[in-house]
Amino acid sequence: MQIRPLTPDDVAAADHVAWSALQTQVPAEFLDAMGEELRAERGRYRIAHLQRTDPDGAWVADDDGDLVGVALALVREGVWGLSLFGVRPDQQSRGVGRELLDATLRYADGCRGAIILSTTDPRAMRRYALAGFQVLPCVTFAGIVDRSAIPEDLRTRPGDAAEDRDLCDAVSRHVRGAAHGPDLEAMERVGCSLLVHDDGGWAAVRDGSLALLAARDDAIAADLLWSALAASEPGQSVHVDFVRAGHDWAVQICLAARLAIGPEGPVFIRGDVGPFAPYLPSGAYL
């Protein structure tokens, strides 16, 4: 088994391996809604994007030409984030994941802070905690939005990755000490719509569900979250993930919208990641 850098030629196989590891984490209603072809296209775009922007954070486990694991991390303005981490199910619990994570964590050397959005896999959580990360427990919300609860006076507007980049980058620096930079456009390319609040906040929404939210204060964040929920189709199942302590504004909104609260993997942080609020990070781009 060789742990080596991921190359552009590995993108399709890496997506296949990552999805084989992670698909059990996705509830059936969201799996079916997307369709495999679109999912794979988006998965490959994300891996190719991060291989271009962060080749030193992109690693695979290669078993004699057969890819069995992948770990991808990004660094933005001194903050490292784990974007993707999976080992093919038939190769799990044999030490491959640990080696992959160690390789991509070397890319965090010299970084001010680091962020991981975890699944509930005990193997993943064990290695994150042992790598010096602090555990931030989370809850998740899912269901169909009760549209009668949506306020009428929302101020959020549709955004654009190019035109609103400065505003979005400034808000990301405010919440986590680092802009999202090139990841904004990458999010748009894989189906995210941007929502912007001119007082200082932005959100990304994909397939009716929130993918990321960052704001200067809780009132702006609340306006953005309601607007994200309003962007879902009537009757569509949506989710709001990685809601942590200190984000009661989000808890109250999700409950008012009649989404169901449930358990979630924790967020792990290390070092200086800014105030980390109000901020609902994205699994792929933190």
Ligand X SMILES: CC(C)(COP(=O)(O)OP(=O)(O)OC[C@H]1O[C@@H](n2cnc3c(N)ncnc32)[C@H](O)[C@@H]1OP(=O)(O)O)[C@@H](O)C(=O)NCCC(=O)NCCS
Find the shortest distance in angstroms from Cβ 125 to ligand X: 8
Find the shortest distance in angstroms from Cβ 18 to ligand X: 8
**In this structure, what token pair is assigned to residue 123?**
């193997």
* Closest chain position to ligand X (CB): 97
Nearer to ligand X, 20 or 236 (CB): 20
Contacts to ligand X from residues 19-58, by CB under 6 A: 21-22
Nearer to ligand X, 67 or 228 (CB): 67
| Ranges of H-type helices in 139-198 | 165-176, 182-189
The answer to whether residues 62 and 5 touch, using CB atoms and an 8 Å cutoff, is: no
Of the candidates 6, 17, 37, 46, which has an alpha carbon nearest to the alpha carbon of residue 211? 46
Of the candidates 277, 242, 286, 279, which has an alpha carbon nearest to the alpha carbon of residue 74? 286
The answer to whether residue 74 forms part of the interface with ligand X (CB under 6 A) is no
- Helix H or strand E encompassing 279: strand 279-280
Find the shortest distance in angstroms from Cβ 43 to ligand X: 14
- How far apart CA 86 and CA 66 sit, in angstroms, is 14
C-alpha distance across the termini of the chain, in Å: 29
Binding ligand X (rule: CB under 6 A), the pick from 122, 234, 235, 263 is: 122
Find the shortest distance in angstroms from Cβ 8 to ligand X: 23
- Helix H or strand E encompassing 49: helix 36-53
Site string for ligand X, 80-119 (x = CB under 6 A): -----xxx----xxxxxxx-------------------xx
Find the shortest distance in angstroms from Cβ 128 to ligand X: 8
Binding-site ranges for ligand X (CB under 6 A): 21-22, 85-87, 92-98, 118-119, 121-124, 126-127, 130
